[in-house]
Structure 1
């Protein structure tokens, strides 16, 4: 499937041409705008003035300036990085590099998979090297496992040597420590050659606190009347910010050929426009090609999802119920969930658990989601938030017994909802995924202190030392160790995931798109029983939360897969199994 070429209507930033480079700046504040060329990051060369051409837009075509040149803008005498830069090789405060979009793609994008299995990756910790090229070496193995779709955590340039990426400030420049722009293109190209989709996590609800220079060019970008946890809200009712987000999204889709976007924290995007900014991104993108759009949105409101025009939503209720069942935790938002199999049965049948009931703050949360197809709910046992926002970055298998983890994994991959795996969970990786940053000292100290205060009220963690986000060791310990996947204790989990994903791909019921009416979940004493039907065929999942029970307690047919061996016809406690439906006579 062909992807469209780059689409940047205003063309702000630096754009090389045959005769030189066009520099273009939008500023409602500036009287004089210049461009400073550098022969090295700290060695200034010639500088020239841009001329005002129209609508607060300054422009200069500079003959002889070619791809690879380094530059910054000077706005009324103040040196400023380019927020529309296509690469910032020396960090968000340094000069930008003029980039020639001349990568020759070898492979077209694959057709959308019939049933997605998403795999979330943080490039910096996915391998010891922390680069696109190193990550690329594992793509074939993920394809063979049964992954259809890679999701990369945010890449827009952010300050420091490492971080999660949600402090991005340059929406067109991939984070330099991961590799050059052509390395990212090669990663996507290689994935496409293997038949894998690649999604990108993008953040338009806020900008990071360090290195955001948009406001230095125009006060129109942010709304002083709307404060968010990260500062003033982006003003999407103004064409300046609206164009920034639209052009950024279309740039990632066009220039880097991503197959879709995951929009971070949509509930924190303030946009009263008739057409929501994400809806406009969708309209513009899909006038060029077919893309897959995902929202992270905690409101559980299908009306908001429809307004944005997204295809799927991160549905965290499933994760929270499973987590409470296996750990008994009640701190934070887990206070809104009960460790009861009946809640798990309800969320499976309904998609969301909260459909208007009072939440922990007493206010109603959610709306019924009867019209949403099962695959539009993205379910997970782990993701960057649910692991990394824990004090020590503990994964689910670090805080529950191994049998229960295997059973939960089987449920995730049995359901018709779209499963998301977080890097390493398929072999129960020993590495945590901590919250880590590399901010300048003053901001870094504030982040570290805030992290400690965040968990001070959590009963389970009182009196314990929380890893310092600014410490190099916190980042290093989060790196996945690929060598351990063949070791005892990890190899067996990986084999289970292979078997589950094989079943999901080829079974005549589990490989079919789900229909809400054909998905039933109920509690049978201390067991969860889930049924899926496709035509005359039925598959039954049984998760035994109690002591060993005879399989004859459940009206099932032949065994297809079990997370623990069935001893003398008994389903072990804290284990699960998948069966054919009972034969009808």
Structure 2
């Protein structure tokens, strides 16, 4: 049935959840197929149950109720056939946590961003943030004073790691269970609106990381309402697959699509980052990804929004328009760039890194194409991976040299700066920010933060013990961790150690790294050769075994980015008389120790990891 599902199976799903209607009354509606009775159990501010409102049957396997003379702030749970009561799966706020009562919320914020028109995809520079560890307070409000500095640095968009309510007080966010309820520990709905409004005032877009491939286990009450939220037809690495294409899947799909609409319409978000989109399994047509893109755009009215996917498949069709049999996404993470550079500069070779050589030729090829795997056999996966990226706009491929996964999924949450030399960090940063692809920075990267970003959770005792054991077992087979103790995800200290120390950015050597990032991002935003990010105006080629040059060009001039990975480079450069040095990564003002750029008498001589940028007439 899924591939040929009749159109009537996707008939309009009625509005679900709780909301305030004109006349000062609250209306509830819940989807609970197969159940006989559902009740609203009102709760007080401390979470104690009180008055019970029976819900009557409504079309579409729903139950509904109305409370007159009530409005925002009403707290409640739902009792199903005498069981529970449980939080509302469509709850807009969980002020006492994922196991506590839900709260009725009204989106009545006084926005000041009337003239905001959304992000410019051509100038996108993404800054990934975990709200809980980005500041000592760990809240939306505490991020607001940081916005001015980020915009001055050259960042154009914040990407907030998942915000849906999660169990406990600390979590990466990928264990979220209440899609519509921004985490109360971060400041809830009101705090998020204030952050986004302030971001727009500073010229910053806000992209929200959303998780639609699975739901977390702790606080997940969906099965209490219907087993149809899940399916045994598909599987995910993280738990039960969500039912997007089977019997009774229409309300499940609408749950996601309504969530997309809420972030864009009610919170003025400028886009979404879809976690592990390759694990959003849907054998029906149209695919859920297409509908997510369509709903996001239709919810924005006169604003531009972006939908970006984390997807490991290197599938060009994700970026092709729906009219060309594609999914219509605006961007996709292209991690081959990260993997090649880690292999080259840090020497990683285990797991998926075995698929990469990190050679100058392979790095150059990745820069030319956008991603490396275009159908070659993957040793790690045991099958071919990827399609050609030719024709894809560079802005649609998101590159990084670190992100939350690549840092936090290491045993000790080591940042890139822990594993490569300062010179290598500078060279990698230059290549990232001067390429035509969309760069993503992980919070603190701009000053080479020394604080780790560890994996942390705050689950109940039973589940927490399993998470701790699983984390340690995950690294037991790696030789370099023999006899090592992997930090306990459940320990509060693991979370506290992951907090950023912003004062580092003002002190050497971190201040010099930030100066480099500021200059690189200034060049990216102002140099004519760098602002034109189309196919055909860049190339990359090797210079010996351990060096390469990235060329950016316009009709008038060329910008050459020389990258030495290791060892010595001696390269004859007959055009030296015409060349202007734009940037030298090893200058003392950037933390290096070599004042004079390595271009003398028609020869470029570079020693060790470094980057040299030259401007030439075309």
Aligned 8 A contact 2:181 2:188 in 1: no
Residue from 281, 296, 307 that aligns with 1:293: 307
Cα 1:54–1:567, aligned 2, differ >3 Å: closer, same or farther? closer
Aligned 8 A contact 1:9 1:247 in 2: no
Structure-2 residue corresponding to 1:313 = 332
Distance 1:242 1:312 in 2: 22
Structure-2 residue corresponding to 1:3 = none
Residue from 553, 563, 584 that aligns with 2:585: 563
Structure-2 residue corresponding to 1:81 = 87
SS state of the match for residue 529, structure 1?
Answer: strand
Q: Deviations over 1:296-349 (max 9, x none)?
A: 110111124433211110000000000111111111111111131111011001
State whether structure 2 residue 522 is matched by structure 1 residue 502: yes
Cα 1:540–1:567, aligned 2, differ >3 Å: closer, same or farther? closer
Residue from 14, 17, 36 that aligns with 1:10: 14
Cα 1:143–1:110, aligned 2, differ >3 Å: closer, same or farther? farther
Residue from 347, 363, 366 that aligns with 2:366: 347
Residue from 186, 196, 200 that aligns with 2:208: 200
Structure-2 residue corresponding to 1:27 = 32
Structure-2 residue corresponding to 1:100 = 106
Structure 1, 284-293 or 414-423: larger mean CA deviation? 284-293
Cα 1:568–1:288, aligned 2, differ >3 Å: closer, same or farther? closer
State whether structure 2 residue 544 is matched by structure 1 residue 539: no
Distance 2:289 2:359 in 1: 36
Residue from 267, 279, 286 that aligns with 1:268: 279
Structure-1 residue corresponding to 2:256 = 245
Task: State the shift of 1:29 in Å.
Answer: 2.6
Distance 2:177 2:510 in 1: 38
Aligned 8 A contact 1:548 1:572 in 2: yes
State whether structure 2 residue 582 is matched by structure 1 residue 576: no
Aligned 8 A contact 1:110 1:197 in 2: no
Structure-1 residue corresponding to 2:474 = 454
State whether structure 2 residue 196 is matched by structure 1 residue 174: no
Distance 2:575 2:347 in 1: 30
Aligned 8 A contact 1:41 1:94 in 2: no
Task: State the shift of 1:107 in Å.
Answer: 1.1
Aligned 8 A contact 2:128 2:159 in 1: yes
Distance 1:551 1:559 in 2: 16
Distance 2:257 2:466 in 1: 32
* Structure 2, gaps ≥5 residues long: 1-11, 321-325, 588-595, 600-604
Root-mean-square deviation (CA, aligned residues, Å) is 1.6
TM-score of the two chains, using structure 2 as the length reference:
0.91
Stretches (4+) displaced over 6 A: none
Distance 1:269 1:9 in 2: 21
Aligned 8 A contact 1:564 1:572 in 2: no
> When the two structures are aligned, how many residues end up with a matched partner?
575
Aligned 8 A contact 1:236 1:271 in 2: yes
1:207-222 alignment, distance < 5 Å: 207-222=215-230
Task: State the shift of 1:124 in Å.
Answer: 0.2
Distance 2:597 2:528 in 1: 27
Structure-1 residue corresponding to 2:119 = 112
SS state of the match for residue 308, structure 1?
Answer: coil
Structure-2 residue corresponding to 1:5 = none
* Structure 1, gaps ≥5 residues long: 1-7
Structure 1, 564-573 or 226-235: larger mean CA deviation? 564-573
Task: State the shift of 1:287 in Å.
Answer: 2.9
1:59-70 alignment, distance < 5 Å: 59-70=64-75
SS state of the match for residue 338, structure 2?
Answer: helix
Task: State the shift of 1:13 in Å.
Answer: 1.4
TM-score of the two chains, using structure 1 as the length reference:
0.96
Aligned 8 A contact 2:344 2:565 in 1: no
Distance 1:548 1:463 in 2: 37
Distance 1:282 1:534 in 2: 33
Structure-1 residue corresponding to 2:591 = none
Residue from 279, 284, 308 that aligns with 2:295: 284
SS state of the match for residue 123, structure 2?
Answer: coil
Distance 1:432 1:92 in 2: 28
